[in-house]
Amino acid sequence: MLRQIDPSSKFIYRLDRMGALVPNFRFFGPVPSVHDSHLLIRFHLGDGDTGPWRELICREKRRLVHMVWAPHRRMNKGLFDAQVELLTVIGMTQDMQRLSTTIPYRTLLNLALHGVETPAGARAAQFAIARSASHDASVTPEIMFASDIHELANS
C-alpha cells in the first residue's frame, strides 16, 4: 500500500531496492467491467398473475476479516461465470431448444429457484439475466436473457 500512495518515493526505494518488502502491485483488467450483472426470478401464480422480478442477492456485509478470507464471494463468482457462459452459449448456438439442457442454464435455474422464497400459489418460475450500470443512473437496466417458463414440481 505504501508504494501505491507514492510510487516515486525515494524513501521507500532506499528501504527496499528490490521490492521484496514493499511490493509494487499494479492490479488492472485488460477490459474493465462497466456493468453489474443480476440474476432475477419471477413467479407465475395459479390465478394467472405474474409476480414482479426479484433479484437473487448473494451479498454479505463486509467485515475486516474479508480482506484475507471471503469464502462467500465464491457464490458471486460462480453466479457471474454461469451468466457469462450462458450468454456465450446463446451467441454461439443455432438450436435454442437445447439451451435449457446446458450446464450454465441449469445452474442459473437452480440458483434462482433456491435463492428466493417461493410465494404461496406459485405454479411456475422464470429467470432472467439483467445488467445495469450501478455507478451511472442515466443507463437504463436491461434484460439480456429471459428463460423459458418452468413448471414447479409442487404446483
Which string of DSSP letters, residue by residue, matches 3-31? HHH-TT-HHHHHH-TTSSSS-------SS
| Closest residue by Cα to residue 123 from 33, 38, 42, 29 | 42
Return the ∠ at Cα 64 (arms to 59 and 67), rounded to 5°. 80
**Backbone dihedral region of 48: left (phi > 0), alpha (psi from -120 to 50 degrees) or beta?**
left
Q: Where are the domains of the chain?
A: 1-32, 34-151
- pLDDT the model gives residue 7: 53
- pLDDT the model gives residue 1: 47
- pLDDT the model gives residue 60: 74
Regions of the chain where pLDDT drops below 70: 1-33, 155
- pLDDT the model gives residue 57: 82
Q: Which set of grid coordinates corresponds to residue 138?
A: 442515466
- pLDDT the model gives residue 9: 60
- pLDDT the model gives residue 45: 94
CB distance 2 to 12 below 8 Å: yes
- pLDDT the model gives residue 67: 81
- pLDDT the model gives residue 107: 95
